């Protein structure tokens, strides 16, 4: 008994001492964690539950002149399929209907999706991509599809969201709206308006210390150093979506018709320099067109005959010619040091006036004017062009503007051919935007404006580059010359003459690659409309059309100009006349051929008329109109007369 008691005590001591040792161990560990290594563990805990977040601001939107969105930041989704979590039974049951639904939604063959899903199941893929970058509306459709509507675990649907810069116009004006990103050197790079106004659109990062709470959410903590993110500013551009659509599709149709390499269209508001539409399309190896580069801004090329305007202005300003001065175009050929200047018309135009030189776009005529006028002092010609500002860039907000080239006798490579070549647009180099700005200055009574893309508070503030490029006399003469090109028989662009409004402009058919066996052409038309009261200037440049289909500026480029001009004309309401209300009623009644006589309270001929047309007319005649039923067509009517008013009850079909 005693032995048992002793044994029990030994065991008790043994267990107790183990417990004491364990207790001491735990105590030491607590001490260690709390004090010896406390700092380290507190730091780890803090890092896991408290973080300093950099909050990126929302990038500003880009709007068109009527408030339509050109660029906005939205959330898009990537959709994946977890083939492991879906049971074989469900997979086999819904694979066909799911593939069909995906096929209808994404316009791809059923077999494409079916095979892809089967492969994912076979390989037990947990993250099989279905579609990327879809909008919320498409995602909502996906969520309703067979199998996927069962959710994440049963249906295997995985959704990942990400910020996405949305461009609602898609491929239209893609290069002008542009993009911006940060490169590996942490420098912002990009093109178009997105990059040009990046400073405004970006906003400023904010920072906030947050503590992790339940549900994976983070709670902001008070911190004196916290900084609110400053959202980017929205910008309103001068681009008009409707006009952009017309410009894009008119250019596209023409490029496709003539299988051209690339082309561009720019529409500018005459009085402000606001760019209303700009389209640049380049051809891919498959013959499709997309906005490859901003040719209108960046591509400096020999302008050809459109430069005759600048040459003619110089000649008029320096009193070398007047518009009625007779010029001998010889037989359509002029020779300079073995090189020949030829007219497009074989045999030339004979003796014609300077105005006709411009109207027929005679190469020999303009070269004759310039060489005779400036051969002794070519510096004067170049200086005249320089004074008009042609050698300066427009300093556009969009990056990558092409540098203009206007040769000068002081240049090292100036030679005997430079002057005659310059006269008809060779040896010089301008971008379409620079050429357009100059033509716009003619339309704008000599005031050269900088092309602008930004609409500040709905008011376009024009930027004047040169208040007067030439004298008023020269201006009126050159305007008449430009009008004759389109509106007079024999003018190079007579084919685009409009009966509704006057166009003034100049065609250009410039040779490129002329030092090779395969000479190509640049077809151009640039001008303004309506010629008597200019509202818009426009340039159309089409590079390297298929020569067998046509290459002259009036055939390839001018029709695009006319289409845009017609559209702008047709959407601008014309102020017809002022009239009195009673005359208006009379006129509209006559038009509708309604026989309504007030005196006899007699109404005839209402059957089949539109109720909404008839109602105001009857009311104007003093009838109290009641109608029954719905619809627009009048089936029947009857007049109820009482002492005070005349009542018409109309039944509608």
Q: How many CB atoms lie within 10 A of CB 148?
A: 24
Among residues 157, 191, 236, 241, the one that binds another protein under rule CB under 8 A: 241
Q: Which is nearer to another protein, 211 or 645 (CB)?
A: 211
Please provide the DSSP assignment of 503-523 as one string. -EEEEEEEEESTTSSS-EEEE
Per-position DSSP letters for 131-153, written without gaps between them: EEEE-HHHHHHHHTSTTGGGHHH
Q: What is the DSSP letter of 490?
A: T
Residue 74 interacting with another protein (CB under 8 A): yes
Considering the complex, what minimum distance in angstroms separates the CB of residue 58 from another protein? 9
Footprint on residues 564-583 left by another protein (CB under 8 A): 566-567, 569-581
234 binds another protein (CB under 8 A): no
Nearer to another protein by C-beta: 581 or 604?
581
Contact between 12 and another protein by CB under 8 A: the answer reads: no
Which of 57, 143, 150, 168 forms a contact with another protein (CB under 8 A)?
Answer: 168
161 versus 340: smaller Cβ distance to another protein? 161
Residue number, 70 or 526, with CB nearest to another protein: 70
Nearer to another protein, 430 or 538 (CB): 538
State phi, psi for 402 to the nearest 5 degrees. -70, 150
How many whole angstroms separate alpha carbon 571 and alpha carbon 522? 31
- Show contacts with another protein in window 244-303 (CB under 8 A): 245-246, 248-249
Structure tokens at 135: 């909008």
In whole angstroms, the minimum distance from the beta carbon of 161 to another protein comes to 9
Q: Residue 136 or 633: which CB sits closer to another protein?
A: 136
Task: Please state the closest distance from residue 364 (CB atom) to another protein, in A.
Answer: 39
Return the sign of the alpha-carbon dihedral for residues 354, 358, 362, 367: positive
Rounded CA-CA distance 8/16 in Å is 12
Name the residue nearer to another protein (CB basis): 74 or 97.
74
Per the listing, tokens 């491929």 go with 171
Binding window for another protein (CB under 8 A); candidates: 70-78, 186-194, 263-271, 341-349: 70-78
Among 215, 285, 590, 599, binds another protein (CB under 8 A): 215
What separation in angstroms does the CA of 303 have from each of 230, 311, 375, 434?
Answer: 46, 12, 22, 10
CB distance 263 to 283 below 8 Å = no
Q: What does 331-357 look like in DSSP terms, one character per residue?
A: TSEEEETTEEEE-SSTT---EEEHHHH
Q: From 306, 299, 301, select the one nearest 402 (Cα to Cα).
A: 299
Q: Is 187 in the site for another protein (CB under 8 A)?
A: no
Among 500, 532, 619, 626, binds another protein (CB under 8 A): 500
- Beta carbon nearer to another protein, 169 or 469: 169
Q: Which is nearer to another protein, 570 or 597 (CB)?
A: 570
Shortest Cβ 244–another protein spacing (Å): 9
SS3 636: strand
**Applying CB under 8 A, does 519 fall inside the site for another protein?**
no
Q: Which is nearer to another protein, 39 or 499 (CB)?
A: 499
Nearer to another protein, 2 or 580 (CB): 580
Tell me which residues in 426-485 interact with another protein (CB under 8 A).
Answer: none
Nearer to another protein, 135 or 397 (CB): 135
* Sole binder of another protein in the list 21, 30, 123, 584 (CB under 8 A): 584
Q: How far apart are CA 166 and CA 68, in angstroms?
A: 13
Stretch that binds another protein, among 28-36, 72-80, 144-152, 441-449 (CB under 8 A): 72-80
Shortest gap between Cβ of 259 and another protein (angstroms)? 21
- Per the structure block, which two tokens stand in for 274? 């606001």
Other C-beta atoms lying within 10 Å of the C-beta of residue 621: 17
Residues 99-158 binding another protein (CB under 8 A) are 135-137
Strand order in the sheet with 646-652: 623-628, 646-652, 634-641
Residue 436 beta carbon to another protein: minimum distance, rounded to whole angstroms = 23
Q: Is residue 242 near another protein by the rule CB under 8 A?
A: yes
467/269 Cα distance (integer angstroms): 17
Task: Give how far Cα 621 sits from Cα of 447, 453, 579, 640, Å.
Answer: 55, 52, 19, 15
Strand partners, 512: 520
Task: Provide the CA 169 distance to its chain's centre, in angstroms.
Answer: 7
Strand, helix or coil at 326?
strand
Write the CB contacts of 318 (distance below 8 Å, at least 6 apart in sequence).
Answer: 373, 374, 380, 384
- The DSSP bridge partners found for residue 278 are 266
# residues near another protein by CB under 8 A: 42
We find the least distance from the C-beta atom of residue 597 to another protein, in angstroms, to be 24
8 Å CB contact between 221 and 210 = yes
Return the residue of 50, 56, 57, 68 that touches another protein, per CB under 8 A: 68
* Smaller CB separation from another protein, 217 or 376: 217
Can you tell me which of 217, 489, 591, 612 binds another protein, judged by CB under 8 A? 217
- Distance (Å, whole) CA 174 – CA 291: 6
CB 50 within 8 A of CB 222: no
- Give the nearer residue to another protein in terms of CB position, either 118 or 585: 585
Which residue is it, tokens 């320099």? 273
Q: Which of 50, 69, 405, 480 binds another protein (CB under 8 A)?
A: 69
CB of 143 to another protein, least distance (A): 12
Shortest CB 585 distance to another protein, Å: 10
Shortest distance in whole angstroms from residue 574 CB to another protein: 5
Q: Return the number of the residue (244 or 270) whose C-beta is nearest another protein.
A: 244
Nearest to 296 by CA among 313, 276, 271, 310: 276
By the rule CB under 8 A, 75 interacts with another protein: yes
Query: What 3 state SS string does 589-604 have?
Result: HHHHCCEEECCCCEEE
DSSP state of 102: H
Q: Which C-beta is closer to another protein: that of 193 or that of 441?
A: 193
Question: Minimum distance from CB of 75 to another protein (Å)?
Answer: 4
Which residues have CB under 8 Å from 513's CB, separation 6+?
Answer: 519, 520
Shortest spacing between CB 432 and another protein, in angstroms: 23
Q: How far is the CB of 572 from another protein (least distance, A)?
A: 6
Q: Is 445 helix (H, G, I), strand (E, B) or coil?
A: coil
DSSP string over 223-252 = -TT-B--BPPPPEEBS--HHHHHHHHHHHH
Alpha carbon of residue 165 to chain centroid: 15
Residues lying near another protein in the complex (CB under 8 A) are found at: 68-69, 72, 74-76, 135-137, 166, 168-169, 213-215, 217-220, 241-242, 245-246, 248-249, 500, 566-567, 569-581, 584
């Amino acid at each position: 008994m005693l032995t048992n008691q002793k044994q029990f005590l030994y065991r008790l001591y043994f267990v107790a001492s183990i417990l004491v040792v364990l207790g001491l161990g735990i105590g030491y560990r607590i001490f260690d964690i709390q004090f010896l290594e406390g700092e380290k563990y507190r730091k780890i805990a803090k890092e896991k539950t408290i973080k300093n977040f950099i909050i990126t601001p929302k990038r500003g939107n880009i709007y068109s002149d009527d408030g339509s969105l050109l660029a906005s930041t939205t959330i898009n989704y990537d959709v994946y399929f977890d083939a492991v979590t879906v049971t074989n039974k469900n997979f086999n049951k819904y694979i066909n209907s799911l593939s069909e639904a995906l096929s209808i939604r994404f316009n791809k063959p059923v077999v494409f999706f079916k095979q892809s899903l089967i492969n994912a199941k076979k390989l037990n893929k947990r993250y099989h991509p279905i579609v990327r970058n879809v909008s919320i509306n498409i995602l909502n459709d996906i969520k309703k599809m067979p199998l996927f509507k069962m959710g994440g675990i049963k249906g295997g649907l995985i959704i990942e969201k990400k910020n996405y810069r949305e461009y609602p116009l898609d491929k239209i004006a893609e290069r002008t709206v542009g993009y911006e990103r940060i490169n590996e050197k942490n420098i912002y790079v990009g093109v178009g308006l997105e990059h040009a106004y990046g400073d405004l659109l970006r906003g400023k990062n904010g920072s906030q210390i947050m503590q992790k709470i339940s549900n994976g959410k983070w709670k902001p903590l008070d911190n004196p150093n916290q900084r609110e993110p400053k959202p980017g500013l929205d910008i309103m551009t001068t681009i008009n979506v409707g006009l952009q659509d017309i410009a894009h599709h008119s250019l596209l149709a023409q490029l496709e018709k003539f299988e051209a390499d690339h082309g561009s269209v720019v529409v500018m508001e005459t009085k402000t320099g606001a760019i209303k539409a700009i389209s640049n399309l380049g051809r891919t190896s498959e013959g499709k067109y997309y906005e490859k580069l901003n040719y209108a801004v960046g591509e400096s090329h020999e302008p050809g005959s459109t430069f005759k305007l600048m040459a003619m202005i110089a000649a008029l300003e320096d009193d070398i010619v007047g518009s009625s001065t007779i010029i001998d175009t010889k037989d359509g050929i002029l020779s300079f040091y073995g090189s020949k200047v030829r007219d497009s018309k074989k045999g030339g135009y004979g003796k014609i006036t300077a105005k006709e030189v411009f109207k027929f776009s005679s190469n020999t005529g303009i070269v004759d004017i310039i060489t005779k006028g400036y051969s002794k002092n070519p510096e004067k010609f170049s200086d005249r062009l320089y004074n008009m500002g042609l050698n300066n860039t427009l300093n556009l907000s969009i990056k990558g503007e092409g540098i203009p080239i206007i040769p000068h006798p002081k240049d090292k490579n100036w030679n005997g051919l430079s002057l005659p070549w310059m006269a008809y647009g060779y040896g010089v180099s301008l971008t379409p935007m620079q050429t357009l700005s100059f033509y716009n200055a003619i339309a704008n009574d000599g005031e050269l404006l900088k092309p602008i893309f930004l609409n500040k508070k709905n008011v376009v503030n024009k930027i004047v580059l040169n208040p007067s490029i030439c004298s008023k006399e020269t201006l009126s003469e050159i305007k008449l010359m430009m009008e004759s090109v389109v509106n007079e028989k024999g003018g190079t662009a007579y084919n685009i003459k409009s009966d509704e409004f006057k166009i003034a402009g100049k065609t250009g058919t410039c040779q490129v690659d002329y030092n090779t066996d395969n000479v190509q052409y640049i077809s151009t038309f640039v001008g303004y409309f309506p010629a008597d009261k200019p509202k818009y200037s426009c340039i159309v440049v089409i590079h390297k059309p298929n020569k067998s289909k046509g290459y002259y500026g009036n055939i390839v480029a001018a029709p695009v100009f006319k289409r845009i001009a017609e559209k702008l004309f047709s959407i601008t309401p014309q102020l017809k006349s002022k009239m009195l209300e009673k005359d208006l009623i009379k006129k509209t009644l006559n038009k509708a051929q309604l026989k309504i006589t007030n005196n006899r309270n007699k109404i005839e001929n209402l059957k089949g008329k539109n109720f909404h047309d008839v109602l105001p007319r009857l009311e104007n005649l003093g009838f109290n109109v009641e109608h029954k039923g719905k619809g627009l067509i009048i089936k029947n009517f009857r007049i109820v007369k009482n002492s005070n008013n005349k009542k018409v009850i109309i039944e509608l079909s």
